[in-house]
Amino acid sequence: MRWRAEKHTPFLLLSPAILTILFVVAIPLAFSLYTSMTPYKLTKPDTINTFVGLRNYVRLFSDDKFWWAFGRTILFLAVALNLEFILGLGIALLINRITWGQRTLRTMMMFPMMFSPILVGFQFKYIFNDNIGILNNALQALGITDGSIAWLVDKPLGMISIITAEVWMSTSVFAILLLAGLFAMPRDPLEAAKVDGCNPWQVFRHITLPFLMPFAFIAMTIRSLDVARAYDIVDVMTGGGPAGRTEVLWTLIARVGYDNSKMGEANAMAYVSTLLSVAFTYYFFTKLVAARRYMGGAE
Amino acid sequence: MSGALKKRLSKIATWIATFLLMIVMGVPGLWVVLSAFRPNREIMAKPAIWIPENPTFSNFAAIFGFGDAQVAIPVLSYFTNSMIIASTSTVIALMIGMSGGYAFARFRFRFKNSLFLGLMLSRAVPGIALSLPVFMIWSKLGLIDAKLGMIIVYVALNVPFTIWLIDGFFRQIPKEMNEAAQVDGCTRWQAFWRIEFPLARSGIAAAGVFAFLTSWNEYALASQLTRSTDSKTLPVGLMDFTAQFTIDWAGMCAMAVIIIVPALILTFLVQKHLIAGLTFGGVKG
């Protein structure tokens, strides 16, 4: 009898969590899937009853605008995440070297992570503003340029500005977790390698980096959970404009769904973006589990 | 080059790099804070005025509706909404997270790994993508532009991560402590409250702060599910300052400070535990 009770306890403990996720995520996602197969428009409520199968998806996949936004999203993620990893690694190695003020620096690094993305976006919108931004003012004061560079308007600059904001906000995730990895690293293998005559690069490449990988995967998993936070930054900085130059998948969803009230099409797009995020998280989560198993074996 | 000189040079390089890092990290936020205390006139000045000449509190007075306010933005109700929504959803998410995290840390059961993965993946759904169906369902249920609607959404948003963190903190506590207490005559429930909960308390507080800030900072869902002063939160309210062609920079900076300050204080209080929670929960399988 007691054994039976034990068997059900974990499910009882987990039921509130499961119910919440069902109600707020799973059921709405199922509804979203259905809606994506209707021509539903907010202005014509009846259209939700018309089932059109995959028509929205077919239309989407033959739409240049969608593919541009999709490509831009992938490019944005690839550039931002790689930069964040490399910079984060550099910062972690740097802070690991200094002895004085290490804790203060680590605390400081937590702050961008805890900032609201909307604030980070606003902050950089202010910095990059062509007329009153501190960046143009500084460039003019230093005599580098006379005119005002339209950071948020010109073609590659808009995306670069947005990526800068994103990297500023999220590099700390990597830096902090990699630094924690460096702190946890055993000294013996490092000493042994030095005694054996390895140069610093070899030590880094063959001892430090493999040890840090699980920490990098934790950071990647955490980041993959909220990459779509970038929507806030883009929305506040450029709103996807001007003329769609910085349009990413997430801003396009909002525009089609809420501004044009074409909910059917927007839901189809939302499904694509959801699958993208979920696949991304799944990939890094399995990597993390594998790394965990490897570390467990080493213990 | 002699060894001593080389060492010295590398030390100087480290300091220069650290200094640059601090500038890059600190200046953007600092500039917003400084601008919050300057009149719009000074912000717009050409050539730029670098050091504030007339520090003033008038931006704050203006957004709270005192003095000669040009724009009356109900910052006070946004602040109250944010506080109510963020703290209520945090408390609920913590209770759900504690019970779920304990299950993952202490029990073996079927589908354990898939359930954990499922919870994590639910968090990966982009806010804006989730907002579409939630918007449609919430309008049927009358939860649009209601604090309750936002609270429910934020609980679900915070549960997966809270479980991850709290699971990690419970794992650090040896199972034997609970078993010993049970041998001494405690029920499992009593053993939890007397032994494990007090030991994991600081970690749970860190998870709570993380959840609070997630709700405090959220924009994608809130911008679509809220409409008026009944439920609009601070991040959504910040966009009130952006009219079609003009932006009230000074007002926005002042409001930004109001959003930043609680985040700074809370982060400072729990940063140590938060790092421990993120790494421990992730690494020890």
Q: What is the CATH number of the domain that holds B139?
A: 1.10.3720.10
Mean pLDDT of A93-104: 85
The pLDDT confidence band at residue B67, using thresholds 50, 70 and 90, is low
- Asked if residue B263 has pLDDT above 90, the reply is no
- Which residues are B242's β-sheet partners? B247
- Asked if residue B190 has pLDDT above 80, the reply is yes
Residues B177, B201: one domain? yes
Test A25 with B156 for CB contact under 8 angstroms: yes
Residues B39, B138: one domain? no
Is A126 within a domain?
Answer: yes
Q: Is the ipTM of this complex over 0.85?
A: yes
Test B219 with A218 for CB contact under 8 angstroms: no
The pLDDT confidence band at residue A136, using thresholds 50, 70 and 90, is confident
Locate A237 and state its tokens: 């900085």
Test B102 with A13 for CB contact under 8 angstroms: yes
The residue among A77 and B243 whose pLDDT is bigger is: A77
Test B278 with A177 for CB contact under 8 angstroms: yes
- All residues of chain A having their beta carbon less than 8 Å from the beta carbon of residue B18 are 94-95, 98, 105
Is A283 within a domain?
Answer: yes
Burial of B55 (C-beta count, 10 Å sphere; 0-12/13-18/19+): exposed
Alpha helices in chain A (DSSP H): 2-21, 27-35, 55-61, 64-97, 102-114, 117-128, 134-141, 155-184, 188-195, 200-203, 209-225, 230-237, 249-254, 263-298
A165 to A14, A44, A112, A282, A296: CA distances (angstroms): 38, 39, 10, 26, 37
Contact A229/B at CB under 8 A = yes
With CA atoms as reference, the chain B residue closest to A270 would be B129
Residues B59, B79: one domain? no
Test B122 with A288 for CB contact under 8 angstroms: no
Q: Tell me the shortest Cα–Cα distance from B209 to chain A, in angstroms.
A: 10
Residue A34 DSSP one-character state: H
Query: What's chain B's length in residues?
Result: 285
With CA atoms as reference, the chain A residue closest to B89 would be A20
How many contacts (CB atoms, under 8 Å) link A and B? 280
Which range marks the domain in which residue A113 is found?
63-298
- Asked if residue A292 has pLDDT above 80, the reply is no
Contact A284/B at CB under 8 A = no
- Dist CA B41 CA A254 (whole Å): 35
The residue among A132 and A121 whose pLDDT is bigger is: A121
Q: Is A98 helix (H, G, I), strand (E, B) or coil?
A: coil
Mean pLDDT of B89-117: 92
Does the global pTM surpass 0.80?
A: yes
The residue among B33 and A241 whose pLDDT is bigger is: B33
- Asked if residue B185 has pLDDT above 50, the reply is yes
Q: Are B53 and B42 in contact (CB under 8 A)?
A: yes
Is B144 within a domain?
Answer: yes
The residue among A75 and A102 whose pLDDT is bigger is: A75
Residues B23, B138: one domain? no
A137-141, B142-146, B202-206, B245-249, range with the lowest pLDDT: B245-249
The pLDDT assigned to A98 comes to 84
Amino acid found at B236: V
- Asked if residue A21 has pLDDT above 90, the reply is yes
Is B117 within a domain?
Answer: yes
The residue among A270 and A140 whose pLDDT is bigger is: A270
Residues B87, B137: one domain? yes
The pLDDT assigned to A142 comes to 82
Test B264 with A111 for CB contact under 8 angstroms: yes
Is A44 within a domain?
Answer: no
- Asked if residue A215 has pLDDT above 80, the reply is yes
The pLDDT assigned to A297 comes to 43
The residue among A296 and B110 whose pLDDT is bigger is: B110
Residues B14, B84: one domain? no
Residues B30, B156: one domain? no
Is A21 within a domain?
Answer: no
* Other Cβ atoms within 10 Å of B273 Cβ, number: 20
Q: Are A254 and B128 in contact (CB under 8 A)?
A: yes
- Asked if residue B163 has pLDDT above 50, the reply is yes
For B70, phi then psi, to 5°, come to: -85, -40
Query: Mean pLDDT, chain A, as a whole number?
Result: 87
Question: Using H for helix, E for strand and C for coil, what is the string for chain B?
Answer: CCHHHHHHHHHHHHHHHHHHHHHHHHHHHHHHHHHHCCCHHHHHCCCCCCCCCCCCCHHHHHHCCCCCCCCCCCHHHHHHHHHHHHHHHHHHHHHHHHHHHHHHHHCCCCCHHHHHHHHHHHHHCCHHHHHHHHHHHHHHHCCCCCHHHHHHHHHHHHHHHHHHHHHHHHHHCCHHHHHHHHHCCCCHHHHHHHHHHHHHHHHHHHHHHHHHHHHHHCCHHHHHHCCCCCCCCHHHHHHHHECCCCECHHHHHHHHHHHHHHHHHHHHHHHHHHHHHHHHHHHCC
Residues B173, B265: one domain? yes
Amino acid found at B197: F
Q: How many domains does chain B have?
A: 2
Test A250 with B267 for CB contact under 8 angstroms: no
Is B103 within a domain?
Answer: yes
Q: Are A230 and A188 in contact (CB under 8 A)?
A: no
Test A17 with B159 for CB contact under 8 angstroms: yes
Is A139 within a domain?
Answer: yes
Query: Mean pLDDT, chain B, as a whole number?
Result: 86
Is A45 within a domain?
Answer: no
Residues B184, B139: one domain? yes
Residues B164, B263: one domain? yes
- Asked if residue B284 has pLDDT above 50, the reply is no
The residue among A6 and A282 whose pLDDT is bigger is: A282
Q: Are B165 and B278 in contact (CB under 8 A)?
A: yes
Q: Which of B219, B224, B238 to mutate to test the interface with A (most CBs of A within 10 A)?
A: B219
The pLDDT assigned to B115 comes to 92
The pLDDT assigned to B57 comes to 82
- Asked if residue B281 has pLDDT above 60, the reply is no
With CA atoms as reference, the chain A residue closest to B224 would be A258
Is B69 within a domain?
Answer: no
The pLDDT assigned to B69 comes to 53
Q: What angle do CA A171, A177, A182 make, to 5 degrees?
A: 120
The percentage of chain B sitting over the pLDDT mark of 70, rounded to a whole number, equals: 93
The pLDDT assigned to A277 comes to 92
Q: How many domains does chain A have?
A: 1
The residue among A253 and B66 whose pLDDT is bigger is: A253
Residues B26, B89: one domain? no
Q: Which of B43, B63, B83 is the last residue of a domain?
A: B63
Going by C-alpha positions, the residue among A51, A11, A287, A122 that lies closest to residue B111 is A11
The pLDDT assigned to A298 comes to 41
The pLDDT assigned to A156 comes to 85
- All residues of chain A having their beta carbon less than 8 Å from the beta carbon of residue B283 are 214-215, 218, 292, 295
Is B87 within a domain?
Answer: yes
The residue among B169 and B274 whose pLDDT is bigger is: B169
Touching B: A residues 91-130, CB under 8 Å: 91, 94-95, 97-98, 105-119, 122-124, 126-127
The pLDDT assigned to B244 comes to 59
- Asked if residue B245 has pLDDT above 90, the reply is no
Mean pLDDT of A215-225: 87
- Dist CA A129 CA A135 (whole Å): 8
Domain of A236, CATH number, reads 1.10.3720.10
Locate B274 and state its tokens: 């938060």
- Across A125-162, b (16+ Cβ under 10 Å) vs e yields bbbbbbebbbbbbebbeeeeeeebbebbbeeebbbebb
The pLDDT confidence band at residue B283, using thresholds 50, 70 and 90, is very low
Is A29 within a domain?
Answer: no
The percentage of chain A sitting over the pLDDT mark of 90, rounded to a whole number, equals: 43
Test A116 with B216 for CB contact under 8 angstroms: yes
Residue A44 DSSP one-character state: B
For A51, phi then psi, to 5°, come to: -95, 125
Is B203 within a domain?
Answer: yes
* Torsion angle in degrees (nearest 10) through CA of B278, B280, B282, B285: -160
Is B27 within a domain?
Answer: yes
Is A260 within a domain?
Answer: yes
Going by C-alpha positions, the residue among B161, B132, B208, B171 that lies closest to residue A20 is B161
- Dist CA A109 CA A111 (whole Å): 5
Residues B53, B111: one domain? no
Q: Tell me the shortest Cα–Cα distance from A25 to chain B, in angstroms.
A: 7
Touching B: A residues 187-216, CB under 8 Å: 214-215
